[in-house]
Amino acid sequence: MNLLDRSLSPDSLIFFGLILGRYLLIAGGLYWLFYGFLAERSTRRRVKHWPTWKKSIRSDVGLSIASALVFALLASWLTSTPVLIHTRLYTDVSQYGFFYLIFSFFLVLILQDTSFYFCHRLFHQPWLFRWVHRGHHRSQCPTPWTSFAFDLPEAVMQALLIIGIVFVFPVHVGILLAALVTMTLWSVFNHLGFSLFPDSGVSQWLAQWLIGPQHHLLHHQRYSFHYGLYFTFWDRLLGTQIPASQPQTQRSVRLALLTAAKPLAVRGKER
C-alpha cells in the first residue's frame, strides 16, 4: 500500500493529530514556561522579542505542521499490515528479555545520533543546504518552536532514519515510543536558546559529552560546527566540536544571547 493510499486514512489522521499535538504541547508548553511565565518573574530569563522573532516562530510552526504530516504518513505506512510484518517490532518483553529491552533503547539513541550527525553535516553542504535545511535555520536564535521545523526533504529523511531502525534489529514498541519521546524532549530542550544552568559545574561537565542548548545555539550561529543530536562524540572525533573555553566560542554565545534578548526591566521601559 503506497503513501497516497494512506494519506486520508483514519490512522493517518490519528497519527497526524498525535504528532502535531505532541509538538504543540511540549514546544508550546516550554515556550510559555521560559519565555512567558518565568520571564515575567525574572530579569535573568529570556526577554525582549526582537522584530523578526514572531516571523521566525510563524515559519517554524508552519514547517512543523508540514513535518507532522510527513511523519504521520510514514507512520501510517509503517503500521499497515503488508509493511509491519516485515519489521522487527515486537510487543512481548519476554521474547528477548529485559536486559535487551534496556540495551536496545540506548542502541536506538546511538544509531539515531550517528545517522543524524552525518545527514545533518551533509545538509550543510552549500549545494544542498538551501534545498533541505535552510528553513530550520531561519531562526538564528532558536526557540522551542524551532525543534520540529524541517524543510520537506529533511522531514522525509528524519522520518526514514527512525523507521529504518525497526527493519535492522528487534525493537519493542514501547522502546520505539520512548525513543521518539526522548528525541522530542531533547530537541525542544536543545532549542531553548539559552542555558538553564550555565555556571553549574555539573552542567559544564555534562556539556563535554551531551548536547544541550548552549552547544546547539552555537550551531545556529556558526554552521560549520556541532552537528550531533544527543552526544558530542562525533563532533569531538571528527573535528566539528568547538571547545567551550575558546574566546571566540564565549563571544559567540554572548552575541547570540544579546541578539535574542534584553533584561525585562529594559523591555518594560520600551513598552
User: pLDDT tens, position by position, for the chain (271 residues)?
Assistant: 555 555 557 888 999 999 999 999 999 999 888 887 776 654 444 434 444 567 788 999 999 999 999 999 999 999 888 889 999 999 999 999 999 999 999 999 999 999 999 999 999 999 999 999 999 998 777 889 999 999 999 999 999 999 999 999 999 999 999 999 999 999 999 998 877 766 667 667 777 899 988 888 889 888 889 999 999 999 999 999 987 555 455 455 544 444 444 433 333 333 3
pTM (2 decimals)? 0.83
The confidence score (pLDDT) of residue 63 equals 96
- pLDDT tens-digit series, residues 80-115: 888 899 999 999 999 999 999 999 999 999 999 999
Q: How far apart are CA 139 and CA 145, in angstroms?
A: 10
The confidence score (pLDDT) of residue 262 equals 42
The confidence score (pLDDT) of residue 244 equals 59
The confidence score (pLDDT) of residue 235 equals 96
As beta bridge partners, residue 99 has: none
| Amino acid, single-letter form, for residue 120 | H
The confidence score (pLDDT) of residue 54 equals 76
Domain range summary for the chain, segments of one domain joined by +:
3-193+262-270
Q: Which of 65, 83, 87, 75 is nearest to 10 (CA)?
A: 75
The confidence score (pLDDT) of residue 141 equals 79
Q: How far apart are CA 106 and CA 99, in angstroms?
A: 11
Q: Which of 166, 165, 163, 138 is nearest to 150 (CA)?
A: 138
Q: How far apart are CA 26 and CA 12, in angstroms?
A: 21
